[in-house]
Amino acid sequence: MSESAPVSNKPVHAPMAQFPVEGGELIVGGQPLSRLAARVGQTPFYAYDRGLLRQRVAQLRAALPAAIKLHYAMKANPMPALVGLMAGLVDGIDVASGGELKVALDAGADPAEISFAGPAKRDSELRQSVAAGVLVNVESARELPVLAEASQALGLPARVALRVNPDYELKGSGMKMGGGPKQFGIDAEALGPVLAEVGRLGLAFEGFHLFAGSQNLKAESICEAQLKSYELALRLAEQAPAPLKFLNLGGGFGIPYFPGEAPLELAPIGANLQALVERAARDLPQASLVIELGRYLVGEAGVYVARVLDRKISRGQVYLLTDGGLHHHLSASGNFGQVIRKNYPAMLSQNRGETRRESASVVGPLCTPLDLLADKMELTAAEPGDLAVIFQSGAYGASASPQDFLGHARVVEVLL
Ligand SMILES: *Cc1c(COP(=O)(O)O)cnc(C)c1O
């Protein structure tokens, strides 16, 4: 049975057509996986494909209006070499800690195009931001006097935007990050006095940041959130101490991880943003519209690769025991915010000419039943030495996993 022709009408994974397969072996960055594993020198590893990263940004640019600025939210994948590549492809980098700020600056990102969001910023991080000349997305009135003090001490402007906790949610998001009570941003209805304080302290006000949620596959919901964000920002702009230079409408573009999920349609989002660009040219003539994306830019360009060490049959169920697991790839194990565990798309890569398929569970070396990379999945029949591949692994992988748990070696990341 091939992946493209399921025998039942059970939902299937979207095809992972971005990576070719030749003779049962996955090709990543133009190289057969067994050779790549030899060149990396160890398993497990993450591999990210430059060509696919470039292609993704180009596809987005083609689908969205030219006036939309595209930012990379680097928490999705902070590997320094990858951030360096992305810095040259997008219009700005969004960081969420002093550590990420360092990586972005080291990568050569223009400080004028870096913004820093995060709900519990340290005073030291706020001072670093002023010294670096980056834009701070302020999430609490507490940040304002700290920024004013840093600005005075350093003799530099404190560039600020206010992150707004909107009075609506992004429908159908994997993770909701706005609407209702939230630790993120400042409630829209409480923003008036904060804007007045920004003016009183003489901070360099630049605009608003709205981010309603993440991992959304419904173009319609994303369009609705963008429109509501725009209209809310327009109302708030009336109370702002200076004209808006910058309006960050958020992101939330999702990628298909699970059976039955289909890729996000960009065309309606492009049309929606075109309409907003035209309105902004009249309503907010000095403002550029920004969207910030993490996983959509990098998620599909990466694979996680672990080696099968053992094959065990327990009461009829095949277990493939690998050297990789949840300590490297928490999200594929289903323990990174998922409510119900589902399999990521996966394959077994081998060059033995094996064509038989079987139901197998791919597990790791940890002493916990949570260490599950694939649960009873239909895969090529595997032997020790074969490589287990988890697709859609370019975002929220290595840096979002508890690598020290149980004391196994840390994972290696390569950019091809
Ligand atoms: C996490 C985050 C992002 C990126 O989310 P993705 O789902 O990876 O696109 C963007 N902006 C903010 C403020 C975030 O917290």
Whether the Cβ atoms of residue 301 and residue 53 lie closer than 8 Å to each other: yes
Tell me the β-bridge partners of 307: 387
The alpha carbon of 252 and the centre of ligand 1 are apart by a number of angstroms equal to: 7
pTM, 2 dp: 0.95
The alpha carbon of 158 and the centre of ligand 1 are apart by a number of angstroms equal to: 23
Neighbours of 174 (CB within 10 A): 17
Ligand 1: lining residues by beta carbon, under 6 Å: 73, 75-76, 94, 117, 211, 214-215, 251, 292-296, 395
pLDDT for res 232: 96
- Is the torsion defined by CA of 366, 367, 368, 373 positive or negative? positive
Runs of H (alpha helix) within 64-142: 80-89, 98-106, 123-132
For β-strands 186-187 and 204-210, DSSP reports them as: unpaired
Q: Tell me: the pLDDT tens digits for 75-115? A: 999 999 999 999 999 999 999 999 999 999 999 999 999 99
Residue to mutate (ligand 1; options 69, 214, 226, 229; most atoms within 8 A of CB):
214
Helix (H, G, I), strand (E, B) or coil at 344: coil
Degrees, nearest 5: CA angle 118-83-129: 40
pLDDT for res 4: 52
Q: d(Cα 187, Cα 166) in Å, to the nearest integer?
A: 6
By percentage, how much of the chain surpasses pLDDT 90? 92
Report whether pLDDT(285) > 60: yes
Q: Which atom of ligand 1 is nearest to the CA of 215?
A: 7
Task: Say which DSSP state 320 is in.
Answer: E
| In the chain, where the domains are located | 2-48+300-415, 78-293
Query: Quick one: 2-48+300-415 is in which CATH superfamily?
Result: Lyase, Ornithine Decarboxylase; Chain A, domain 1 (2.40.37.10)
Q: d(Cα 300, Cα 237) in Å, to the nearest integer?
A: 37
Report whether pLDDT(5) > 90: no
Q: What is the mean pLDDT of residues 15-24?
A: 97
pLDDT for res 9: 81
Distances (CA, A) of 285 to 54, 230, 279, 281: 31, 14, 9, 5
Q: At what angle do helices 191-200 and 143-154 cross, to 10 degrees?
A: 20
pLDDT for res 167: 84
DSSP-assigned states of every residue in 259-282:
TT--PPP-HHHHHHHHHHHHHHHH
pLDDT for res 168: 75
Report whether pLDDT(120) > 80: yes
Q: How many CA atoms lie within 13 A of 354 on its CB side?
A: 17
Q: Which atom of ligand 1 is nearest to the CA of 299?
A: 8
The alpha carbon of 353 and the centre of ligand 1 are apart by a number of angstroms equal to: 42
Helix (H, G, I), strand (E, B) or coil at 307: strand
Residue to mutate (ligand 1; options 77, 83, 94; most atoms within 8 A of CB):
94
Say which residue the tokens 């402007």 belong to: 157
Distances (CA, A) of 340 to 29, 215, 327, 391: 33, 15, 19, 19
Q: What's at 174, amino acid-wise?
A: G
Which residue's CA is minimally distant from atom 5 of ligand 1? Answer: 294
Which residue's CA is minimally distant from atom 9 of ligand 1? Answer: 294
Report whether pLDDT(389) > 70: yes
Whether the Cβ atoms of residue 286 and residue 244 lie closer than 8 Å to each other: yes
Instruction: Please choose, from the candidates 349, 346, 386, 380, the residue with its C-alpha nearest in 3D space to the C-alpha of residue 12.
Output: 346
Whether the Cβ atoms of residue 136 and residue 143 lie closer than 8 Å to each other: yes
Q: What is the mean pLDDT of residues 349-354?
A: 97
Say which residue the tokens 């975002």 belong to: 395
pLDDT for res 337: 87
Report whether pLDDT(2) > 60: no
The alpha carbon of 201 and the centre of ligand 1 are apart by a number of angstroms equal to: 29
Q: What is the mean pLDDT of residues 369-381?
A: 97
Report whether pLDDT(230) > 60: yes
Local confidence band at 1 (pLDDT 50, 70, 90 cut-offs): very low
pLDDT for res 387: 98
Q: Which atom of ligand 1 is nearest to the CA of 117?
A: 13
User: Annotated active-site positions, please?
Assistant: 367
Return the structure tokens found at 228: 């509501």
Mean model confidence pLDDT for the chain = 95
397: Cβ contacts below 8 Å, ≥ 6 apart: 46, 77, 302, 304, 328, 329, 331
Instruction: Please choose, from the candidates 104, 7, 86, the residue with its C-alpha nearest in 3D space to the C-alpha of residue 301.
Output: 86
Degrees, nearest 5: CA angle 10-16-17: 125
By percentage, how much of the chain surpasses pLDDT 70? 96
Neighbours of 58 (CB within 10 A): 11
Whether the Cβ atoms of residue 152 and residue 174 lie closer than 8 Å to each other: no
- CATH 3.40.190.10 describes domain 78-293: no
Instruction: Please choose, from the candidates 76, 71, 46, 77, the residue with its C-alpha nearest in 3D space to the C-alpha of residue 57.
Output: 71
Whether the Cβ atoms of residue 148 and residue 194 lie closer than 8 Å to each other: no
Q: Which atom of ligand 1 is nearest to the CA of 251?
A: 9
Q: What is the mean pLDDT of residues 57-84?
A: 98
